[in-house]
Amino acid sequence: MKNKGKHTVCIHDGEIKDTQFGGAVSPIFMSSSYPFLDTDPIRYPRYFNTPNQEVIAKKIAALENAEAGLPFASGMAAISTTLLAFLQKGDHVVFQNEIYGGAYNLVQEEFENFGIDYSFTEGVEVIDFENKIRNNTKVIYIETPSNPLLTITDIKAVAELAKKYNIITMIDNTFASPINQTPLNFGIDISIHSATKYLGGHSDILAGAVVGSEEQILKIFNKGKNLGGNISDFMCYLLERSIKTLGVRIEKHNENAQFVAEFLNNHSAIEKVYYPGLQNHPNHDIAKVQMNGYGGMLSFELKEDFDAVKFQKALKLIKPSMSLAGVESTILMPTLTSHALLSKEERNKQGISNNLLRLSVVIENIVDIINDLEQAINK
């Protein structure tokens, strides 16, 4: 069936037919041993090719309009393997200034040991990326919407710039999910996910995924089988089950987060709201072009006379949590968690204040989410 809708792809692409019993869902194959005589190993979990691993590879590739995909044991396994597949000693990579804290740590703590040089941009305009390109730049890596300030980078513009210089582009597409954003359609080479977040969606999976062309995925496969960040078949089974409802979950996340963003934006206790779906977001026009929906993540700053720690403690329904994108709404203070290791000056430079809170708005009834925020503000 050609040109299927995304919900149909979520449910059916890649699925394994149960030819033995005719069951409705893909069976789970836990075997790590398959027939082998004197040719290359046919199937082996570290070769990314067990039946359940292949389900995820096909489904995620179909969702992002890519030729091929690979599942990983975590988002960080996907990010590190993909970067190392395209970067060698003596190469240089340009990172967007705002990227996920774990990816930032990987770069800061490991890249010097590998002899890989890197630069972070000053901002997210095309010129900010172009300013950092050198003769040995092999990769440009972006994240949009970014964590935690929901900054929007113009995907098509960055992809066009990179093509001009023959540079590979990678995006962390976790916050958008493949339902809200398909970066390959805008010229990006490789899209990466922490599947622990929206793809998993129920706070019970650690996983990652990468999609790209056959040629690029082969390169990542070759690095991946050496590094060994492979996902188990049981996780693949859970992930397949989760992705079946990805489309409906994301539609509800989009709707609820837009409502909460507008509520906070008009609230006298709130200094600022960061959400790409708001007209006053500085890159709302770009988001409108490259996103199908604005996602479930938003950040906001309480006015100075409020105490963000007390506010968090007063919440009853919304839980403080490092993670996001489950079915229960969660909140986090970047200064105490993801950005705790940065100096105050660095945080100020990035616009991360003490009263900034990152909220993952999910699928509880919207009235309950709003009531919880309101009662905590009043306290």
Ligand X SMILES: Cc1ncc(COP(=O)(O)O)c(C=O)c1O
User: Which of the residues are catalytic?
Assistant: 46, 100, 172, 197
Q: Answer yes or no whether residue 210 interacts with ligand X by CB under 6 A.
A: no
What is the distance between the alpha carbons of residues 261 and 273, in angstroms, rounded to a whole number?
7
- Give the number of other Cβ atoms within 10 Å of residue 152's Cβ: 24
Provide, rounded to whole angstroms, the least separation between the CB of residue 147 and ligand X. Answer: 5
Q: Answer yes or no whether residue 194 interacts with ligand X by CB under 6 A.
A: yes
Nearest CA among 317, 326, 297, 82 for reference residue 176: 297
- Give the number of other Cβ atoms within 10 Å of residue 273's Cβ: 22
**Exposed/middle/buried for 51, CB within 10 Å: 0-12, 13-18, 19+?**
middle
What is the distance between the alpha carbons of residues 104 and 172, in angstroms, rounded to a whole number?
12
Q: Answer yes or no whether residue 26 interacts with ligand X by CB under 6 A.
A: no
Query: Which range binds ligand X by CB under 6 A, 171-179, 261-269, 344-352, 354-362?
Result: 171-179
Provide, rounded to whole angstroms, the least separation between the CB of residue 142 and ligand X. Answer: 11
Among 50, 53, 74, 182, binds ligand X (CB under 6 A): 74
Provide, rounded to whole angstroms, the least separation between the CB of residue 30 and ligand X. Answer: 22
Query: Which range binds ligand X by CB under 6 A, 46-54, 82-90, 167-175, 247-255?
Result: 167-175
CA dihedral 199, 229, 167, 89 (to 10 degrees): 160
Among 91, 172, 233, 301, binds ligand X (CB under 6 A): 172
Query: Which range binds ligand X by CB under 6 A, 71-79, 151-159, 247-255, 284-292?
Result: 71-79
Nearest CA among 232, 231, 306 for reference residue 264: 306
Q: Answer yes or no whether residue 102 interacts with ligand X by CB under 6 A.
A: yes
Among 174, 216, 254, 335, binds ligand X (CB under 6 A): 174
DSSP bridge pairs for 210? 70, 192
The letter for the amino acid at 45 is P
Q: Answer yes or no whether residue 76 interacts with ligand X by CB under 6 A.
A: yes
Residue nearest ligand X by beta-carbon distance: 75
Which letter, b or e, does each residue of 75-91 get, where b requires 16 or more Cβ atoms within 10 Å of its Cβ? Answer: bbbbbbbbbbbbbeeeb
Per-residue contact string for residues 111-150; x = within reach of ligand X by CB under 6 A:
------------------------------------x---
Helices (H), ranges, the chain: 6-12, 51-63, 75-86, 101-114, 126-130, 155-164, 177-180, 214-227, 233-243, 246-265, 284-290, 308-314, 344-350, 366-378
Q: Answer yes or no whether residue 75 interacts with ligand X by CB under 6 A.
A: yes
Closer CB to ligand X, 26 or 174, in the complex: 174
Among 69, 71, 148, 208, binds ligand X (CB under 6 A): 208
What is the distance between the alpha carbons of residues 38 and 2, in angstroms, rounded to a whole number?
39
Among 53, 196, 232, 256, binds ligand X (CB under 6 A): 196
Query: Which range binds ligand X by CB under 6 A, 73-81, 159-167, 234-242, 274-282?
Result: 73-81
What is the distance between the alpha carbons of residues 30 and 35, in angstroms, rounded to a whole number?
14
Closer CB to ligand X, 172 or 240, in the complex: 172
Provide, rounded to whole angstroms, the least separation between the CB of residue 61 and ligand X. Answer: 19
Provide, rounded to whole angstroms, the least separation between the CB of residue 194 and ligand X. Answer: 3
Q: Answer yes or no whether residue 153 interacts with ligand X by CB under 6 A.
A: no
Q: What is the DSSP letter of 267?
A: -
Closer CB to ligand X, 76 or 140, in the complex: 76
Closer CB to ligand X, 254 or 360, in the complex: 360
What is the distance between the alpha carbons of residues 371 and 374, in angstroms, rounded to a whole number?
5
Phi and psi of 93, rounded to 5°? Answer: -135, 140
Size of the site for ligand X (CB under 6 A): 14
Q: Answer yes or no whether residue 300 interacts with ligand X by CB under 6 A.
A: no
DSSP bridge pairs for 300? 273, 357
Q: Answer yes or no whether residue 98 interacts with ligand X by CB under 6 A.
A: no
Phi and psi of 285, rounded to 5°? Answer: -65, -35
Provide, rounded to whole angstroms, the least separation between the CB of residue 338 and ligand X. Answer: 8
Binding residues for ligand X, rule: CB under 6 A, are 74-76, 100, 102, 147, 172, 174-175, 194, 196-197, 206, 208
